[in-house]
Amino acid sequence: MPDTTPQPAYKRILLKLSGEALMGSDAYGINRQTISEIVAEIKEVAELGVEIGVVIGGGNIFRGVAPAATGMDRATADYMGMLATVMNGLALQDAMRMAGLNSRVQSALDIEQVVEPYIRGKAIRYLEQGRIVIFAAGTGNPFFTTDTAAALRGAEIGAQIVLKATKVDGIYTADPKKDPSATRYDKISFDEAIARNLAVMDATAFALCRDQKLPINVFSIFKSGALKRVVLGEAEGTLVYC
C-alpha cells in the first residue's frame, strides 16, 4: 500500500501569530475559546512532524506607538508592549499544554523567574526534540515590532518560511479594512511589497527576510485549516518571494 499521508513542504517554520487575533470578538485581551481554536490549528501541523517556532504579537494588550503619540516616552511604551507579548506567550503555552502540546517560552528580555531567556542553541535543540518554541518579548529592543522579531528568529533558527497568521487572508493592494475595493495578491515579490509600502508587515521585516532569502506567507488564522494548507504547500493567502 502506498503511503498517502500528506507530506509537509517545510521541515521547520516560524509562525508569527497576531496578538490581536487572540482577542477573538472581545475588545482586548485573550479570548479563551479563540486561543484554543488557534492551538488546534497549530496541533494539526505539529502532528505532521513539522518543527514550529512561534513569535507572538502583543497588539491585543499593548502597542507602543499609540501611547507614544499621546506623549508617553516611546521606548518605555515599547518595553510595555514587549512585556505584553510575554503574557501572550504564557497564555499560549498554557493553551498548548491543555491541548497536549509540549512547548517552551523563551524571552528576549531577562525575566528568569517567569520564562527562560532566549538562547538560540537551546531553542534549536528544543525544536529538534519536537517541542514548540514560543519566542516572547519581540527582539528585546524598542522601536521594533514582533514582525521583525519573526523575521529575525526565523533566520536564526533556520526556518524555511515565515508564516504570518493574521486577521486578513493575505496581502491586498491596500488595507482591506479601509478600502473595500482592494484586491488580494496570490504572490508578490519582496521588492514590490516594499516599494508599494504595503502596511500588512513593516518594511524592516520584509527587508530582513528578503536579504536572508526567507519567504513569507500571509494568511488568515481564522480560516479553518489554512495553516495546514500553507504547510502542505497549497496555495493559501499571499506568498512573498525573492
Ligand X SMILES: O=c1ccn([C@@H]2O[C@H](COP(=O)(O)O)[C@@H](O)[C@H]2O)c(=O)[nH]1
**Annotated binding site for ATP, which residues?**
16-19, 59, 63, 166, 172, 175
Binds 144: which of ligand ATP, ligand X, none (CB < 5-8 Å by kind): ligand X
The entry of ligand ATP, ligand X, none near residue 82 (CB within 5 to 8 angstroms by kind) is ligand X
Binding-site entries for UMP: 58, 78, 139-146
User: Which positions from 124 to 163 touch ligand X by CB under 6 A, shown as an x/- string?
Assistant: --------------xx-xx-xxxx-x--------------
**Smallest gap from residue 11 Cβ to ligand ATP (A):** 25
- Site for ligand X, residues 44 to 73, rule: CB under 6 A: 57-59, 63-65
**Nearest distance from C-beta of residue 129 to ligand ATP, angstroms:** 27
Strand partners, 163: 15, 217
Q: Which is nearer to ligand X, 130 or 143 (CB)?
A: 143
Q: Residue 143 — left, alpha, or beta (φ > 0 → left; ψ -120 to 50 → alpha)?
A: left
Comparison of 8 and 172: residue with beta carbon closer to ligand ATP: 172
Residues 6+ positions from 8 with CB-CB distance below 8 Å: 45, 48, 49, 50, 231, 232, 233
Other beta carbons within 10 angstroms of residue 71's beta carbon come to: 6
Partner from ligand X, ligand ATP, none binding residue 8, C-beta < 5-8 Å depending on class: none
Cβ atoms of residues 184 and 238 within 8 Å: yes
Q: Residue 137 in contact with residue 85, Cβ under 8 Å?
A: yes
8 or 86: whose CB is closer to ligand ATP? 86
What does the alpha-carbon distance between residue 122 and residue 157 come to, in Å, rounded to a whole number?
A: 10
Pairing of strands 116-117, 132-136: unpaired
